[in-house]
Amino acid sequence: MIESPESNNNSDDLFEHFKFVASDGQEPLRVDKFLMNFIENATRNKIQLAIKAGNVLVNENVVKSNYKVKSKDVVRVVLAHPPHENLLVPENIPLDIVYEDGEVIVVNKPAGMVVHPGHGNYSGTLVNGLIYHFKHLPKNSNERPGLVHRIDKDTSGLLVVAKTDFAMANLASQFFNRTTERVYWALVWGSLDEDEGTITGNIGRSLKNRLQMDVFPDGSHGKHAVTHYRVLERFSYVTLVECKLETGRTHQIRAHFKYLGHTLFNDERYGGHAVLKGTTYTKYKQFVDNCFKILPRQALHAKTLGFEHPTSGEKLFFNSELPEDFQTCLEKWRNYTVNQK
């Protein structure tokens, strides 16, 4: 059975080109031969090169050419560019504009909205809405109108958008020089030992799962990354933390906290959608499942954004409220914690 390709929105410029689910009667077959049976005009050499590069995953794990596909296996091919040319189409999408002047726009992005179009998501993105409401936005080095930075599809919160070429260059310089201020709130599994601390460790693409980012503390891979955190509230088996980014790597908070042993609550990509802490009682598991339903995404919100205005030089700071799903989930944990005492 062949499923429609989906976009890998949370991964930095990796796109899912193909996704296949082995049928019930699938006899064990080498993955390279399996893919040749489904991908039109593919050569075995190209498939093997993709496998060697770690771009073929079976059940979310990178495999070698001799892996034998079995019944119900999910085989995915991800590569570093979209398989089709992307055409930007303006769409009348309502945007939550927090601030706007002649140079910049600050947007409060809802969870579930993709920031820019990619394979499988050519419409409904923040960029589609931006180019409808704002004409002649400058393009960044990746030809994406107005974008200076981005946040993951299922992360909510604040972004700044450039309206002029000067603003684009100026803001890009601020992000590069780490003079912007970005504060996130995250709900993580477990109880952190310290009330505040710093996580330092290179972040790069996982050598085992190309859709994840890993921490390489020895500096052998990836780029330097630093996250400062402060505990805001402790619950029975989860903790609300404030995270201040010193650097801005892909999935930085998500990867750093998994490395620390405190994966983000309901972060499916990094395993936080399982019950990682707590009791073995069925009632507790039902409670956590209900929290997952209320907050059906990773518990991460870009709460505060600060930068210097490109032309006036004024320091601008913006703060956004936690969205309803996040607030409701926190309230459930508060009530649960009180009832456990």
Catalytic positions, please?
Answer: 152
Cβ-based neighbours of 12, under 8 Å, separated by 6 or more: 205, 213, 250, 251
Integer angstrom CA distances of residue 71 from 25, 28, 251, 330 = 6, 8, 32, 40
SS3 (DSSP) at 315 = strand
What are 228's strand-pairing partners? 198, 244
- 86 burial level (CB within 10 Å; 0-12, 13-18, 19+): middle
Residue 229 CA to residue 132 CA, distance in Å, equals 37
Number of Cβ within 10 Å of residue 291's Cβ equals 21
- Compute φ and ψ for 151, nearest 5 degrees: -130, 160
Integer angstrom CA distances of residue 155 from 67, 148, 226 = 35, 17, 19
Contact 7, 120 (CB under 8 A): yes
